[in-house]
Structure 1
Amino acid sequence: MKTNYSLDDMRLFWVVTQHGSFSQAAQSLNMPVSTLSRRIKQLENTLGLRLLNRDAHRVTLTGSGAQYAQRCGPLLSELQDISDALSAQRHEAHGSIRISAPNNLAQHQLAHIFSAFLHTYPGIKIELSLSNRNIDIEGEHIDIAFRASEHFPLDWIARPLGSIESIICASPGMPLRGDIVHPEQLLDLPVVLSNPVRTWKLHNQQSGEQFSYTPGAMIRLEADDLNLVSQAVTDGLGIGFIPRFIAQYQIAQGQMIQLAKDWTGQPRQLTMLYHDRDNMPHRLRLFIDYMLEHYGSVNPNLSGANLVNPV
């Protein structure tokens, strides 16, 4: 037969056994003696056993009461430990943070910020899941997710970090028919495609003109890893649509050139996602605030101009 009783009544019984007195126990619990006595009597009625012998001078345990106290004491202690541990998450900088991020973004933009954060808070651990595909962040129990797309669960909070801008790139040794100044001149060139971006939405920074370029039959390679795509472009396999924060290094080293320099991709918003504003472990609040404070300043090519005030 299943017994239905309150854990709080069990706690009250335990306090009485520790004080050996209803009056002293009631004082420590800040409740009337009559209420405490009624709650203990209710517990005894629910169990169908007398737990305490009461007289005018003292309270003693019955045999059943002694057995009950012996079993419930460690249980209540364990429950208190659990409560204390969970409460500590609200105030202490320790524990794990599960983070999901695109592989290339993590390598080029996030890794050094994660390291700096961990040096600042040595009691915190990051568990990092890298994928260039949008994983099920709820199913994977992710605390923080970084996305460079507009596709994310609607009930998650999205904080903008900056904008990612892509540019058209090629190898310096790739044969071209004159100077490429307009995307229309790309139509006959071989292409290295970075999935899932199959259409390059371009705009002219000078005139504001818009142009959508969709590679056709000249696709030489498709991949969802931007490092591999960038390497294929520098190897001369074809032109590529590369985020500026990746391409700038190869351009500076002479391994890559920018084509149609007045044309860039429509900026994609980089967002940091998390589930709740309230009842958040302290470690998550520290991480969110750290990212909002530091990301734009150490990643000037992903402008922090879109940042909003932390909540």
Structure 2
Amino acid sequence: MKINYSLDDMRLFWVVAKQGSFSKAALELSMPISTLSRRIKNLEQSLQLRLLNRDAHRVTLTGSGVQYFQRCGGLLEALQSAGDALFDEKGEASGTINVSAPNNFTQYKLAHIFNAFLREYPKISINLSLSNKNIDLEKEHIDLAFRACDEVPLDWISRPLKQVKSIVCSSPALIEANTISHPKELQKLPVILSNPVRVWELVETTTGEKFSYTPLPPARLEADDLHVVSRAVIEGLGVGFIPYFMASEWIESGKLVRLLPKWSGQPRTVHLLYRDRDNMPHRLRLFIDYLIRASDN
């Protein structure tokens, strides 16, 4: 038999049984006696059991009521204990933070910040989900996310954190055979595409001229990992649009060269996303403040 009633009805019964009086229970619950009596009757009807014997002077438990009181008392105490533990944890620097972040950006820009935070707060743990795809934050129970996007998920708070600028790169051998001076000439070169960036938004740094380049299919290689993309570019399979924070070390070592040095990608802002500004656990507030301070340095 499926029983349909609320835990609140159970709690009301438990208070009445504990007090042995509807009037005392109503006073404790700040509830009219008539409302309390009606709620208990509804509970009995749902259970199809009589739980209380009522007379003009007192309330006593039936045999079924005794069993129900003993069992629901332990359940309500466990629920209260769980609620108290969560409330206490909210104000402590402890517990786990579920984080979603892009793979390569985390490796180059976030990992050392995460590690420093964990060293400073030894009772806090981070459960890190790395993906360059926009995962379902609600379904994955994410507390905090990093995203380079223009659209913010509904009901999430967004805070700009960092700007990422990409540049057009090539292997030295490929560019020696294919010199170009304007982004429109990119169409004649093979392309390595990094998902989810499907359009290369470029701007000429001196004149401000803008150009949107959409690589024609098929790309020689498409991947959602920038290391894979960069390796293909380094090995001369095509040109790529690579974040400067990654490309700079390969340019310095001579593995990559920058195409169109007067052109740069429009900066993409990495946003810090979280749900609730007011009712968040203390550990999450500490983490957000730490990230903002680190991004300002």
Structure 1-normalised TM-score? 0.76
The answer to whether the Cα contact below 8 Å between 2:17 and 2:60 also exists between their aligned partners in 1 is: no
Q: Deviations over 1:160-218 (max 9, x none)?
A: 10211001112233342586543244342222221232321111111111122233368
Inter-CA distance 13–222: structure 2 relative to 1 (3 Å threshold): same
Inter-CA distance 65–186: structure 2 relative to 1 (3 Å threshold): closer
Aligned to 2:151: 151
1:93-132 correspondence to structure 2 within 5 Å: 93-132=93-132
Aligned to 1:138: 138
Deviation at 1:149, TM superposition (A): 1.6
- Return the letter of the residue paired with 1:82: A
The answer to whether residue 251 in structure 2 is matched with residue 251 in structure 1 is yes
1:163-178 correspondence to structure 2 within 5 Å: 163-176=163-176
Inter-CA distance 54–123: structure 2 relative to 1 (3 Å threshold): farther
Aligned to 2:85: 85
Aligned to 1:6: 9
Deviation at 1:279, TM superposition (A): 1.8
Q: Deviations over 1:50-75 (max 9, x none)?
A: 579999xxx99886665455334322
The answer to whether the Cα contact below 8 Å between 2:165 and 2:244 also exists between their aligned partners in 1 is: yes
- Return the letter of the residue paired with 1:9: L
Deviation at 1:41, TM superposition (A): 7.5
Inter-CA distance 62–136: structure 2 relative to 1 (3 Å threshold): closer
Inter-CA distance 221–91: structure 2 relative to 1 (3 Å threshold): same
Q: Could you say what secondary structure the match of 2:172 adopts?
A: coil
- Return the letter of the residue paired with 1:12: V
The answer to whether the Cα contact below 8 Å between 1:190 and 1:218 also exists between their aligned partners in 2 is: no
Inter-CA distance 185–126: structure 2 relative to 1 (3 Å threshold): same
| Alignment root-mean-square deviation, CA | 3.6
Deviation at 1:224, TM superposition (A): 1.7
The answer to whether the Cα contact below 8 Å between 1:44 and 1:51 also exists between their aligned partners in 2 is: no
1:231-242 correspondence to structure 2 within 5 Å: 231-242=231-242
The answer to whether the Cα contact below 8 Å between 1:203 and 1:264 also exists between their aligned partners in 2 is: yes
Inter-CA distance 62–103: structure 2 relative to 1 (3 Å threshold): same
Q: Deviations over 1:257-277 (max 9, x none)?
A: 222222100111111111222
1:180-199 correspondence to structure 2 within 5 Å: 180-199=180-199
Q: Could you say what secondary structure the match of 2:82 adopts?
A: helix
Structure 2-normalised TM-score? 0.79
Residues of 1 paired with 2:165 and 2:279: CA distance? Answer: 35
Deviation at 1:220, TM superposition (A): 2.4
Inter-CA distance 44–259: structure 2 relative to 1 (3 Å threshold): closer
Identical positions, percent: 50
Q: Could you say what secondary structure the match of 1:118 adopts?
A: helix
Residues of 2 paired with 1:106 and 1:245: CA distance? Answer: 12
Question: Is the deviation greater in 191-200 or in 265-274?
Answer: 191-200
Question: Is the deviation greater in 65-74 or in 115-124?
Answer: 65-74
Q: Which structure 2 residue ranges, 5 or more long, are not aligned?
A: 45-49
Inter-CA distance 75–263: structure 2 relative to 1 (3 Å threshold): same
Q: Which structure 1 residue ranges, 5 or more long, are not aligned?
A: 298-311
Deviation at 1:247, TM superposition (A): 0.7
